[in-house]
């Protein structure tokens, strides 16, 4: 049997019929199914006292064969019987041979709807039922397009020589991704990390790039593609030192540096990586933001917090744009993390923050890396435009 009847082939005047002789077994099954044990239909003694003198077959038993014609012949598979008006003109008796006919009266192309003349005639050529019905012919699902190639296992990690960036590189390599560690000036440390990854059997390279410049960002992506192929994962962890400064002493250049490294580089790299991700129908972009953008602002962290807040908004904006193409964009917002980035924060202040955190410690780079690994994994394929807070409960949404 074909899956769906061809609506275009159906024409006004098309007709199909079914022959059926009514038996006691038919009546018994109908009563068992519907519970309609009206003695007029099942008790000959009772029926003999009525004007009909004989058992009368349930009217809907005969009418049910209209459904048989509709579902198997006209229009056939994929038909949905949506309405029916009918008149029962004569009784149907046991042993009657019925001809059930459906004929197309009108055809509504837009709604894939047919109006049908429905009638039942007995062996004496008497019309025992007539009416009109409406039938919608369901359309088969559109054949799915071949799936896109999918997520490329190539990850660029900016700031890869830093504490969080290094942890992310190690975790993604552990998960089987080919890692491109981007660094700005820590060449020796970057190469040391890559050597360790390679010794553990991972595929990894270190690439020096100033990702806050168009040339640097383009060079990084080009080298990644040349060495490993299409980029499927972008993790933006690059960040300048916080360098707290009062408004009175701040220079615009201080704020501009934060904006360039945090936000401009995210823009440039996302713009470069997104086309390939969209072409493959899959991609993961993760930006490392900060708890500093939530709750009570930290005095003198204006440039850092402003850039991180802009990065978070940028991530949500492109998440909405790239989502239809299978690309997810999310943020991980660590609390104070035990890395070199907080080296200028007094130890006493770090201890106070740890004590005020429900989990009673600072974040570790591995905590952040685990969150990133989740967001780039298949388990997070339906997560986008979100910020995953890794702060031990210091800030709760």
Q: Which residues are catalytic?
A: 304
Per DSSP, 4 falls in state S
- Residue 136: which of 67, 83, 68, 65 has the closest Cα? 83
- Do residues 59 and 34 make contact, with C-beta atoms less than 8 angstroms apart? no
- How far apart are the C-alpha atoms of 215 and 54, rounded to whole Å? 96
Distance of CA 7 to the CA centre of its chain: 32
- Do residues 116 and 105 make contact, with C-beta atoms less than 8 angstroms apart? yes
Assigned token pair, 347? 């130890």
- How far apart are the C-alpha atoms of 314 and 317, rounded to whole Å? 5
- How far apart are the C-alpha atoms of 242 and 301, rounded to whole Å? 7
β-strand 327-334 against 387-390: which pairing, if any? parallel
Assigned token pair, 132? 């009109």
- Do residues 154 and 230 make contact, with C-beta atoms less than 8 angstroms apart? yes
Q: Which residues of 18-32 are buried (b: 16+ CB within 10 A; e: fewer)?
A: bebebeeebbeebbe
């Amino acid at each position: 049997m074909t899956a769906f009847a061809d609506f275009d082939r159906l024409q006004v005047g098309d007709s199909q019929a079914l022959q059926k002789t009514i038996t006691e077994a038919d009546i018994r099954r109908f009563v068992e199914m519907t519970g309609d044990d009206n003695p007029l239909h099942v008790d000959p003694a009772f029926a003999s006292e009525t004007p009909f003198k004989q058992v009368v077959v349930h009217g809907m038993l005969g009418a049910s064969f209209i459904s048989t014609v509709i579902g198997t012949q006209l229009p056939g598979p994929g038909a949905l019987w949506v309405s029916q008006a009918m008149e029962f003109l004569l009784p149907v008796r046991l042993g009657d041979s019925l001809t059930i006919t459906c004929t197309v009266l009108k055809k509504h192309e837009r709604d894939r709807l047919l109006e049908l003349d429905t009638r039942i005639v007995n062996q004496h050529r008497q019309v025992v039922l007539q009416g009109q019905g409406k039938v919608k012919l369901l359309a088969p699902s559109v054949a799915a397009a071949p799936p896109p190639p999918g997520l490329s296992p190539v990850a660029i990690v900016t700031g890869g020589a830093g504490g969080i960036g290094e942890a992310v590189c190690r975790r993604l390599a552990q998960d089987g991704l080919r890692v491109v560690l981007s660094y700005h000036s820590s060449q020796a440390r970057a190469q040391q990390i890559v050597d360790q990854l390679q010794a553990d059997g991972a595929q990894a390279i270190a690439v020096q790039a100033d990702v806050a410049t168009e040339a640097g960002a383009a060079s990084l992506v080009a080298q990644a593609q040349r060495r490993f192929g299409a980029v499927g994962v972008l993790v933006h962890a690059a960040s300048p030192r916080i360098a707290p400064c009062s408004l009175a002493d701040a220079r615009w250049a201080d704020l501009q540096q934060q904006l360039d490294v945090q936000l401009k580089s995210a823009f440039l790299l996302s713009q470069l990586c997104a086309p390939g991700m969209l072409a493959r129908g899959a991609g993961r972009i993760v930006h490392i933001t900060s708890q500093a953008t939530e709750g009570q602002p930290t005095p003198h962290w204006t440039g850092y917090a402003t850039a991180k807040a802009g990065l978070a908004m940028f991530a949500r904006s492109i998440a909405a744009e790239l989502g239809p193409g299978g690309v997810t964009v999310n943020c991980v917002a660590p609390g104070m993390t035990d890395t070199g980035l907080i080296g200028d924060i007094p130890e006493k202040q770090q201890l106070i923050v740890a004590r005020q955190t429900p989990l009673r410690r600072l974040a570790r780079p591995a905590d952040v890396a685990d969150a990133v690994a989740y967001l780039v994994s298949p388990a997070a394929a339906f997560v986008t435009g979100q910020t995953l807070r890794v702060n031990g409960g210091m800030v709760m949404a």
